[in-house]
Amino acid sequence: MTGSEVPGVPVDEDGGFVMLSNAAIEGVAGGARPTTRIAVLDIARGVAVVAMVIYHSSWDLSELRLVPMTVVGNPGWNLFARAIASSFLMLAGLGLALAHGRGIDTRKLLRRVAVVATAALLVTVATWIVFPAAYVFFGILHAMAVSSLLAAPFVRVPAALTALAALVVGALPLLASPAFDAPWLAFLGLGTRVPLTNDYVPLVPWLAFVLAGVALGRVGDPVRWLARGEPVLRGAKALAWIGRHSLVIYLAHQPLIYGALSGVAAITGPNQAAEAAPFLRNCAARCGEAGQPEEVCRIACRCTLVELRRGPLWTNMVGGRVSGDEAGQIGQVARSCLARAR
């Protein structure tokens, strides 16, 4: 999402790099100006965008309890999210190296960073309105904007030294300290506490992926080895189109998807299994902490769920409207079910 011009490699305003056809590659040295894009970068970015949409759609379905699955805290989903973030950041670093490898165009660099930073601010404001307790204060776009500035000086550094810098940044979490736990230092990623936010991409260790992308862009002649033909398959063309419009899609997809699914949830109500899952997890955890066997806890919690669903207690509990008397009734139901499970 950063862009400038390299002699013979025009860059358009969305930060994409003009692709060199095989014939045009030879013409660059002679001053010919190619007019197509490096499709492999657009396709790679498009794949990352599709993966992002899949993740966020799944997160929305889980958050709205429309499906009985848990995304937040799930190791597999967490790994998927990190893979998506790292791919975006590596592509940003690669683009930075290709665009500024022969000299940093400060004006265009700052313009691109300003665009991404403005988009990041929009994300912060929107999430603060919708999720005030977990708004995004330093997510993927924030990290991309700041990391682009920090990584820019490395576009003229040998690839080996940049790769070494990436390894050092990637290892910095080993030095995490409570001294960095202050909220205003959370963007660094060096604290011992993970802040409550719906998207957290601190500089450490994520700057390492941008530096890795810069190092990759400094290996040999990347324009030549990236610019190999144009997309032919319809799916590849679609991915390339998505990649060229990645920032717009990033900003638009969540409001559209979350809004649509919220409408569905308002009509259909939550999936019963999804609605019960948090209660069963919490019940089992508390039962286990009390020293009860796992099987006893499973039976007791399921019994409690069934009994609570017979009356208004369940609806009030899920809606967070439990009075003191109702809390006592819930506790009585739980004790009765535990006694039967034993």
- Per-residue pLDDT, 228: 58
Confidence of residue 312 (pLDDT cuts 50, 70, 90): confident
- Say whether pLDDT at 184 is over 60: yes
* Summary mean pLDDT of the chain: 84
What average pLDDT does the segment 15-35 reach?
33
Specify whether the CB–CB gap between 97 and 155 falls below 8 A.
yes
Note whether 242 and 46 are within 8 A (CB).
yes
Average pLDDT (80-107) is 91
At residue 9 the predicted structure's pLDDT band, cuts being 50, 70 and 90, is very low
Instruction: Specify whether the CB–CB gap between 45 and 246 falls below 8 A.
Output: yes
- For residue 314, pLDDT over 50 is answered with yes
User: Does position 301 have pLDDT exceeding 70, yes or no?
Assistant: yes
User: Considering only 19-23, 118-122, 300-304, which range has the smallest mean pLDDT?
Assistant: 19-23
- Global confidence as pTM: 0.78
| pLDDT 10s digits, 123-178 | 999 999 989 999 999 999 999 999 999 999 999 899 999 999 999 999 999 999 99
Q: Mind listing the pLDDT tens digit for each residue in 315-339?
A: 778 777 778 788 888 888 888 999 8
Tokens 């009390």 sit on residue: 290
Closest by CA to 254, choosing from 14, 32, 45, 57, is: 57
- Beta carbons of 91 and 104 less than 8 angstroms apart: no
Phi (first) and psi of residue 309, to 5 degrees:
-70, -10
**pLDDT of residue 4 exceeding 60:** no
pLDDT at 27: 32
**pLDDT tens for each residue of 214-235:** 999 888 666 655 665 566 577 8
* Residues whose CB is less than 8 angstroms from the CB of residue 194 and which lie 6 or more positions away in sequence, other chains included: 200
Q: Which two tokens stand for residue 78?
A: 């967490």
- Containing 50, the helix (H) or strand (E) segment is helix 39-63
